[in-house]
Every structure is written in structure tokens, then in C-alpha cells.
Amino acid sequence: MEKDKISFGHDFLKMLGRTRLRPGGGLMTDWLLNQVQIDKDMHVLEVACNRGDNLIRIYTKYKCEIIGIDNDPVIVEQAKENIKILDLDKEIEVKNMDALKLDFEDETFDLIINEAMLTMLPNEEKAKTLKNYHRALKKGGYLLTHDVAVENESEDVRRQLSRFTNMNVYPLTVENWNRLLIENSFRPFSQRTGRMILLDRDTIIKDEGPIGAANFYKNAYAEGNRDRFTKMLERSQNTKISYIVLASKKEN
């Protein structure tokens, strides 16, 4: 990827070799998935699948029916390529689709997982998206979300986080994430929150493996990337950003 085309924080981290771009790292994704008994008969949708990392991991572990969507057509092509390299293109489908215009029949899925995306949407779009998830889930279906949580929703906190991600983001407090889900007919039944660990060395080693992590740091501190990476690291250490993972069930 050409450097001057890199705009968002998540694109930059991805270019450095970070594959799991969630505030609670892969650790919290694993925790989330463990809140539900997933089996091979389940129909699973991942929204904001990016380059297919979760899709591949979930299919490999559970052998369930799985489809991923992302609204970035370039990323969707990369996901398809990764899946094809692993010869899983018959098992895992990926589509270019916007979560705000979810184009699936009513009550199609048993489970929807959506990480590090809702935070990017203004509040009215978050609600619209949740309504779409509610419609596309079967009765009693599960929604697993992983997002950024803040202590307060002041403009100052929002601006700090927007500088970190280099895009407009709209994080909520733990209380308001819960409220948003409840107002859109979901019942949160299990949740965790803690300091954002996306850029912690231990998380990077766990998520990317030792060799992947070493490559990541090699890229991060290479000339041309070092200044931006160091600034991101400082910002992540100086802001009070947390992750929140929430497992919810569709209510009628």
C-alpha cells in the first residue's frame, strides 16, 4: 500500500501487519465467541469482516455456515484472496455490503458478530444498524459486539479518539452501549470491559504470533512509519479508552 494513501488508523496498523484491529485484541474476540455455544448447524454473519481473519478462524474452529460483509470493496477482494489461498472459498462467502443496508432475508442468521465498527457510526446510524441486525437474526439469535468505551462522551474525549483513529468516531459509555442494545430489542447477558489493549506488546504477540509481532514492530519502527506509530502509541497510552465486549440475545 502506498503511504500517502493511508488515511485511517486501522489502515495504517493493517499495513504494519496488525490483522486483528479490535480494542480488546483477539483475546476479547475469543472471550466473546465463548459466550455462545456455536455449532456447525449455525448460520453466522460477520459484519465488518475486513480481510477475513475472523471468518477463517471461526470457520476453522466451528465448521459453521459463515458469511462476511464489509463496505470497503478493496478489503473484500483481499479477504476473498486470503480465503482462496487457504482453499476455503467454497466454505466462506464474502460480500461487499454496507451494514446500514443489510441485504439478507428476515431471520436468516443464528449469530452476528460485529467488532470495531459500530463506534465509527453516528448514534442514529448505530440504531439503524442494530435494527437491521435484529431483523436479520432468527428468534433468540445472538449478537456479539466489540467496541470502544469511554468514561464520558464529551467532545474532548471524542476528539482524542478521533485523532488516534484518524477518522470521526462516536464511542459510548458502558452504560450507553447497554442502553443502545436494550432500546433496539437486544438483551445483553454477558459483558466485559477494560483498558484498550490493541497496541500492547503482549496482545500483539498473542494475536499475530511471535514472528508476526516481530515483523509488525520492524515495520512500525522503520523510517517513514516510526513517527506516526510512536504518536499513535502515545495517544493510546494518554487517553482513557476502554474496550467493551457484549454478548446479547435478540428479544422479540
Ligand X SMILES: C[S@@+](CC[C@H](N)C(=O)[O-])C[C@H]1O[C@@H](n2cnc3c(N)ncnc32)[C@H](O)[C@@H]1O
Which residues of the shown chain bind ligand X in the complex (CB under 6 A)? Answer: 10, 20-22, 47-48, 50, 69-72, 75, 98-100, 115-117, 120
Q: Output the smallest distance, CB 89 to ligand X, in A.
A: 19
Q: Output the smallest distance, CB 59 to ligand X, in A.
A: 15
CB closer to ligand X, 22 vs 249: 22
Q: Are 74 and 47 in contact (CB under 8 A)?
A: no
Q: Output the smallest distance, CB 252 to ligand X, in A.
A: 26
Query: Which strand (E) or helix (H) includes residue 59?
Result: helix 53-62
Q: How far is Cα 29 from Cα 54, in angstroms, rounded to an integer?
A: 9
Q: How far is Cα 37 from Cα 17, in angstroms, rounded to an integer?
A: 31
Of the candidates 172, 195, 194, 196, which has an alpha carbon nearest to the alpha carbon of residue 183?
172
Residue nearest to ligand X (CB): 48
Q: Output the smallest distance, CB 87 to ligand X, in A.
A: 23
CB closer to ligand X, 41 vs 54: 54
Instruction: Name the residue with cell 445472538.
Output: 142
CB closer to ligand X, 18 vs 250: 18
CB closer to ligand X, 116 vs 137: 116
CB closer to ligand X, 110 vs 115: 115
Q: Output the smallest distance, CB 191 to ligand X, in A.
A: 17
* Residue 226 φ/ψ, nearest 5 degrees: -55, -50
Q: How far is Cα 218 from Cα 19, in angstroms, rounded to an integer?
A: 15
CA distances from 3 to 10, 13, 145, 212 (A): 13, 12, 31, 20
